[in-house]
Amino acid sequence: MRQFDFPPAVRRQIHRERFAHPDVGVRQRMEILWLKACAEGHERIAQLAGVSRPTVQRVLDLYWNGGLSAVRVYHWKTPTSVLAAFAPQLAAEFDRQPPHTTEEACQRIAQLTGVQRGPTQVRHFLHDTLHLRWRNRLPRL
């Protein structure tokens, strides 16, 4: 079994960053290290930190192999849409002639790109990537 050594300077950094680091995932990892520095067992650390036991082991492995700098690196996995590659083409097309409905946008995207997407995905793409907003047809009185 590995013995983790947390020098006072490292303990101070862990204590500070478990509350002050801008990334939530890194704060959680620092909490795991703090509990380990307080000599808690892995089961208890998992329970107190609200994570699984394998997560505790992964964080401790990160610290063992790379120190605090490895623990601070948190790679968020963000999916990218296939339609993102066609964004400039679709933006130009929809600027020229905006779609009236989501269904029309789905059909035109399929014709232009060959990519079939449902109304929900198209709605998110139009809003989040192309920054298009739906407009009322009739002015309010």
Q: What is the pLDDT of residues 81-120, one digit of tens each?
A: 899 999 999 999 999 999 989 999 999 999 999 999 999 9
Q: What pLDDT score does 108 carry?
A: 95
CB contact at 8 A, 93 and 112: yes
State the chain's maximal CA–CA distance in angstroms: 74
Angle between helices 42-49 and 53-72 (to 10 degrees): 80
pLDDT at residue 139 is higher than 70: no
Residue 17's closest CA among 71, 76, 75? 71
List, for residues 37-68, the tens digit of each pLDDT value: 999 999 999 999 999 999 999 999 999 999 99
CB contact at 8 A, 18 and 31: yes
Is the pTM of the predicted complex or chain greater than 0.75?
no
